């Protein structure tokens, strides 16, 4: 069973870079790592996904080391609107990658 | 483009009453479908998922059930609600392609209060 571990909460200030690390020691060879953002009373939305090394899009960057046992979501120059819960997600081999279990997520609070 | 519809947005039900939440997906075929529940201030708990019509995998033993009568329809039900069933219910879909990088797309959720 692939499990993820993230810090429960983080605090930052506007304009700073935020890095959230997720541990997934049992990640399968074929599995991707996907990050989601959730605002209160809304469903999570996709942020970024990667398999190895570095991925960057208009919202964030994702760093994945060679052993793929962890990943780091990097949010450049955060604003108040980035206050949300961030989840990393990997598949579950036992469920044929269809069984998608979220971890507890990281609650990010951005302060003025 | 694909869209997911989930209703109702909010629901207040007495203990012991039945429940039916419906979720439909448009613009795709043979999606994988999911029901998650989120208690206040907590993470997402996977309740059920389905890879095809009539195929339901249950993750948590409880008084809830799910059905998939049509390819793009996923229903969450209960015969008798408990106080502990209160929460934010989310339906989600992802493609059923062979790749392992299919993303999850969520509906807008149903806030259920059991009183």
> pLDDT tens across B85-96, in order?
999 999 999 987
Mean pLDDT, rounded, for B15-31 = 94
Nearest to B49 among A44, A87, A98 (CB): A98
| CB atoms closer than 10 angstroms to residue B8 | 10
Number of Cβ pairs < 8 A linking chain A and chain B: 62
Indicate the pLDDT class of residue A97, thresholds 50, 70 and 90. low
| CB atoms closer than 10 angstroms to residue A24 | 23
Q: Quick one: closest CA in A to B43, which residue?
A: A104
Asked if A46 reaches chain B (Cβ–Cβ under 8 Å), the answer is yes
Nearest to A34 among B44, B57, B103 (CB): B103
Residue A48: CA count within 13 A, CB half-sphere: 21
Give chain B positions within 8 Å (CB) of A87: 43-44
Range from B8-17, B38-47, B92-101 carrying the lowest mean pLDDT: B92-101
Asked if A29 reaches chain B (Cβ–Cβ under 8 Å), the answer is no
Give chain A positions within 8 Å (CB) of B51: 98
What is the per-residue pLDDT across B32-60, written as a single tens digit (0 to 9) for each? 999 999 998 888 999 999 999 999 998 88
In chain B, DSSP finds a helix count (H) and a strand count (E) of: 0, 11
Mark yes or no for CB contact A98/B88 under 8 Å: no
């Amino acid at each position: 069973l692939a499990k993820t571990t993230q810090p429960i909460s983080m605090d930052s200030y506007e304009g700073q870079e935020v890095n959230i690390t997720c541990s997934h020691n049992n990640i399968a060879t074929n599995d991707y790592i996907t990050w989601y953002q959730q605002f209160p009373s809304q469903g999570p939305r996709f942020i970024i996904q990667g398999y190895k090394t570095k991925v960057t899009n208009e919202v964030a960057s994702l760093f994945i080391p060679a052993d793929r046992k962890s990943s780091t979501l990097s949010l450049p120059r955060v604003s108040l609107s980035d206050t949300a819960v961030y989840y990393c997600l990997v598949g579950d081999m036992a469920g044929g990658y269809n069984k998608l279990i979220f971890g507890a997520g990281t609650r990010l609070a951005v302060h003025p | 483009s694909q869209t997911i519809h989930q209703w109702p947005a909010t629901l207040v039900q007495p203990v012991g009453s039945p429940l039916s939440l419906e979720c439909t997906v448009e613009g795709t075929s043979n999606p994988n479908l999911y029901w998650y529940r989120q208690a206040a201030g907590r993470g997402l708990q996977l309740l059920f998922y389905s890879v095809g019509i009539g195929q339901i995998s249950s993750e948590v033993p409880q008084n809830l059930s799910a059905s998939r009568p049509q390819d793009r329809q996923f229903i969450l039900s209960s015969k008798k609600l408990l106080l502990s069933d209160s929460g934010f219910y989310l339906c989600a879909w992802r493609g059923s392609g062979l790749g392992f990088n299919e993303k999850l797309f969520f509906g807008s959720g149903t806030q259920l209060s059991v009183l």
